[in-house]
Chain A
Amino acid sequence: MSPVTPPEHFDLTGKKAMIVGAASPAAAAIARAYAEAGADVALAVLHADDSVMAAKRLQQEIEAAGRKSAVYVMDVTLGRNVQVTTRQIAKEMGGVDIAVCASDLFLGKPIAKTSDSELQQVMAYNFNAHYFVARSASEEMMRTGGGRILVLTHVLGERGLSNTSAYGAAHAATQNLVRSLSQELGPHHITINGISAGWMDWMTDRLDESDDDAGRAVRFTLARRAGTPEDLAPLALYLVGDGVGYVSGQIFHVDGGLTQHL
C-alpha cells in the first residue's frame, strides 16, 4: 500500500464512526476527537434514559463542527439488537468504517456476595457487548473491504485485585477477544485493538470511600494522577487512521504507567 504521512493518517475526513456506550466520558472524548479529525459519528447509548439527552447534546456539538451525527439506543446485552442497530447506522450514515465499543459496568464485591444475576450483568456489559459489537461491525466492514474496531477495556483484565473477580474476568475475556479476532479478521483488512484504561477520573467512585487511604490506587500510578477522557482520545485516533493497518491484536495501556512497575 502507498505510504501515509502523519497528517494524512490523523485525517478521518469521510470516515463513518460508530461509538457504542457514547454516554461514557471516554467515548464522548473519542467522539469529539473523531469529529475534529473529520469523521461523521453515530452515537449509540446503552439505555433509553438521561444518556439519550446527553448524547443529543454531543450530537449537536458534532453537527456544529460540520459533521454528520445521530443518536441511537443500542441494547448491547442482546446480539440481535446490536446487529439491527448497527445495520441501521450503516444505512443511515453510509457505512461503518470505525467501530468503538466503550460498554462498561463495574462491580466491586467479594465472590461470596456476588449473585448469579450480578455476574451475568457484568459479563454482559464488559464482554458480551464487545463481542456483539465486533461481530456486527465486522459484518458491515467485510461488505466494504475493511475497517477498524476498537474496544475500551480496563487494566483489571490483566491484574488480580480483591473484589473484582467478575469484572476482571470479563475484561480479560474482552482482551483475548481482541487477540483472537485480530487473527480471524486480519485477512479481511479489519484491524482490532484495545485501549486498557487505568484509574481514570470518572472511575474514582470505584475506590472504597470508607477507606482512609483510598487515594493509594492513584498514587500507585507513576503519573501520580488519575487519567482523563482526553488522555485516551489521541490513542483512539491513532488506532483508526489509514496508516495503522499493521497494528492489530494489541491492548495498549493508557494508565500513567500503573501496570509497568512492581
Chain B
Amino acid sequence: MTLESFRMDGKAVVVTGSGRGLGKAMAKALAAVGANLVCAARTPEQIEATVAEIRADGGTAIAVPTDVSKSADVDALVAACVAEYGRIDVMIANAGGGGGQAPAEFFEATDDYFEGVLGTNLKSAFYSDRAASKQMVAQGGGGVIVNVASGTALRGNQQFAYPTAKGGVISLTKSASTMLAKHDIRVNCIVPGYVNQRPPNDEQESEIRRNRGVRVPVRRLGDWWELGPLAVYLASDASRYVTGEIFIIDGAGLAGGLAPVSFAPQHELGAAS
C-alpha cells in the first residue's frame, strides 16, 4: 500500500530545466516510476538528450524548448503537455540560474542585473505555477506543483539577487499552497544545498569536490541523483497530506551553521549561574 503510493504510472509531468543537472535527474527518476515526461529547457540538444535517455530506459518523454522567463513560453509548454498527454498532473518548476557575478558593492547592482535574476528564478516559478494550476483546475482540479529554491535563500549570501529570488520562491510556495488547496493542488518546494550537477570529469575535479565536502556536516557534497527519490515522494500520492512545505536536502548544512563543522565544544558540567 505504501510502496504503491510512490508509483506515478500515466501521470503527465513537466520538469523545467531538465536538460542537465538536478532537473534531468528528477525527470529520469519520475520516468522510472511510470510518469510521462515533458522535458523543458532553453537548449534543445540537452533536453533531447534527456528524452533519449528516458526512452532508452523504456520511459515516455517529449522535449519542448522553453524560455521560462517568458510567460508565453511557459503557457505554450503546458499546452504542449496537454496536447501530448491530454492533461498535466505535476509541474516541477526547477529552471533557474545564478545570473552571473554580483557586483562587489551592493549599491552598485543595476536594475538590469536584479530584474534579470528575478526573471530567471522567481518570475519563472510564478509563470510555471500559474500555467500549471490554471490547467489543473480546468481539467477538474487535483495536481502537484514542486518549486525548486536554494539553501542560499535561508542564509545571507553576497550574490544577493539569487538568494532574494529563491527566497521569493519559498514564499510563493507557501502562499500558492493556501490558494490552491481548495482545488486539491499541493505546492511544495525543494531546497538543495551544495549538490554536484553531474559526475566529475577527472580526478582533479573529484579532489576539488572532496575538499569542499569537508565543510558539509555529512562530509561530502550531494549528487544530482539524490534529488530523484525526493522528487518522486513530492510528486506522488505518497505526500498527499503535505503542502506548503520546504524540503531541504543539504547534508545537514542549514541545521548547523553557528561554527565551522569541525567545531565541537568540550566542557564538563560546572555550577549553574
Contact = CB atoms under 8 A, between A and B. Distances in A.
Interface in A248-262: 248-250, 252-257, 259-261
Nearest to B217: A186
Interface in A62-114: none
A179 B218 CA distance: 12
Nearest to A261: B178
Given A10-B6, A231-B240, A246 B29 contact: no
Contacts of B225: 3-5, 243
Nearest to A227: B241
B206 interface: no
Given A223-B241, A260-B244, A183 B229 contact: no
B217 A6 contact: no
Interface stretch (B82-90, B105-113, B249-257): B249-257
B218 A248 contact: yes
B215 to A, nearest CB: 12
A254 to B, nearest CB: 5
Contacts of A246: 193, 195, 218, 220, 222-223, 226, 249-251
A260 B243 CA distance: 8
A260 B178 CA distance: 8
B230 A238 contact: yes
A203 to B, nearest CB: 14
A128 interface: no
17 contacts: A3-B225, A5-B228, A10-B3, A182-B252, A183-B217, A186-B217, A186-B251, A222-B177, A230-B2, A237-B3, A238-B230, A244-B226, A246-B195, A255-B242, A257-B177, A257-B244, A260-B245
Given A223-B243, A257-B177, 14 more contacts: A5-B29, A10-B3, A32-B2, A179-B255, A179-B256, A182-B256, A191-B252, A223-B181, A234-B5, A234-B6, A234-B238, A246-B195, A248-B252, A261-B177
